[in-house]
């Protein structure tokens, strides 16, 4: 039986190890242990299952629907899911086609008459207004004058990242644990968890926070990558080896909330910052090896650890922190 480690599969299929473990957590994928391997591995059946998941995800089939397909051996569920997906895509194609036609009509109008205001261009044609209304993107009646609050809410609805916040992190001390090898996030998470319980961190610092980042980033030419976790600690607390006490200087960040494991939204946050008129990235000198100074905060982690919540008890809320500065 041919088997592959999680790191090997991650590299071969360009899927993060965190995503693979999440697929296992929700029951879409399974790994096993065999003699001669120190870590859990995937057999040929699991690799084939992963290929199916990747194909279905690229076709924009949700994980919930993929789970339904795998749970049912017959064609009925597959047909139902695929038919529903086609219907949703058809609606989206129709909406995109309508938007394209409207924008082209605006372009043609501007070419014919350059001295035209945006207001007159958008609101003068009842046919265009009816087409825009059919898109159902907002509930605004464009023919009426609306308050800026309503318009801002409409803008948030249309924005891909409507919840980006600008946050100044203050200086603080952390206990750091770093590991390079198979399943680095899992390894550091277990060690940090034990550390927090041993020192009863929640009791001595109930506002403690937990951050993490790749160190170094995954690369195709190396077998393993690393991960580093930080938990904030009281300033006067000494930490035992192999933990390292570090002082973080603080910084300004653009912050975006995600549901685990939607780490693909890192790219959306990066694009938001790079297209901002007010901010620009302020990446660390360490570069990509340390995620350019970006941080991932695991919300509610300290409290969940203190109360021994099961891993799937909370919704997996996370904040992505990208360092920024004013232009």
Q: Over the stretch 18-55, which tens digit does the pLDDT of each residue have?
A: 888 888 888 899 988 877 666 778 988 999 999 999 88
Percent of the chain's residues with pLDDT above 70: 82
pLDDT tens for 255-284 read: 999 887 788 889 889 989 988 889 999 999
> What confidence score (pLDDT) does residue 167 get?
96
The rounded Cα 121 to chain-centroid distance in angstroms is 38
User: Is the pTM higher than 0.85?
Assistant: no
> What confidence score (pLDDT) does residue 312 get?
53
Looking at residues 203-231, what average pLDDT do you find? 89
Query: What does the CA dihedral 327, 162, 321, 277 come to, rounded to 10 degrees?
Result: -10
- Containing H/E element for 6? helix 6-13
Q: Look at the block and give the residue holding tokens 């895509």.
A: 89
> What confidence score (pLDDT) does residue 130 get?
65
Looking at residues 187-211, what average pLDDT do you find? 93
pLDDT tens for 80-138 read: 999 999 988 888 888 778 778 878 877 877 777 767 666 666 666 666 666 666 665 44
Higher pLDDT, 115 or 56: 56
Higher pLDDT, 234 or 122: 234
Using pLDDT thresholds of 50, 70 and 90, give the confidence band for residue 153: very low
Higher pLDDT, 230 or 156: 230
Letter string b/e over residues 68-105, b meaning 16 or more CB atoms within 10 A of that residue's CB: ebbeeeeeeebeebbeebeeeeeeeeeeeeeeeebeee
């Amino acid at each position: 039986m041919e088997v592959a480690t999680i790191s090997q599969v991650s590299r071969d299929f360009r899927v993060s190890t965190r995503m693979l473990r999440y697929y296992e957590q929700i029951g879409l994928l399974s790994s096993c242990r065999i003699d001669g391997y120190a870590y859990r591995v995937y057999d040929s059946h699991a690799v084939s299952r992963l290929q199916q998941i990747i194909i279905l995800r690229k076709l924009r089939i949700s994980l919930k629907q993929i789970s339904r397909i795998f749970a049912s051996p017959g064609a009925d569920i597959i047909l139902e899911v695929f038919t529903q997906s086609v219907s949703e895509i058809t609606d989206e194609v129709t909406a995109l086609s309508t938007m394209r036609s409207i924008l082209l009509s605006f372009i043609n109008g501007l070419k014919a008459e350059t001295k035209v205001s945006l207001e007159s261009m958008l609101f003068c044609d009842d046919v265009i207004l009816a087409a825009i209304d059919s898109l159902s993107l907002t509930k605004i009646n464009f023919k009426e004058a609306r308050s800026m609050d309503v318009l801002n809410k409409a803008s948030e609805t249309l924005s891909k990242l409507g919840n980006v916040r600008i946050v100044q992190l203050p200086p603080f001390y952390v206990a750091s644990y770093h590991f390079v090898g198979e399943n680095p996030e899992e390894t550091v998470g277990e060690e940090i968890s034990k550390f927090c319980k041993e020192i009863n961190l929640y009791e001595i610092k109930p506002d403690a926070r937990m951050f993490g980042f790749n160190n170094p980033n995954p690369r195709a030419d190396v077998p393993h990558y690393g991960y580093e976790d930080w938990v904030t600690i009281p300033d006067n607390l000494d930490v035992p080896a192999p933990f390292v006490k570090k002082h973080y200087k603080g910084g300004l960040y653009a912050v975006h909330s995600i549901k685990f494991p939607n780490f693909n939204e890192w790219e959306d946050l990066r694009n938001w910052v790079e297209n901002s008129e007010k901010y620009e990235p302020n990446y660390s000198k360490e570069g990509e090896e340390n995620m350019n100074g970006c941080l991932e905060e695991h919300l509610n982690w300290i409290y969940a650890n203190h109360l021994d919540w099961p891993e799937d008890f909370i919704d997996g809320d996370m904040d992505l922190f990208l360092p920024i500065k004013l232009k």
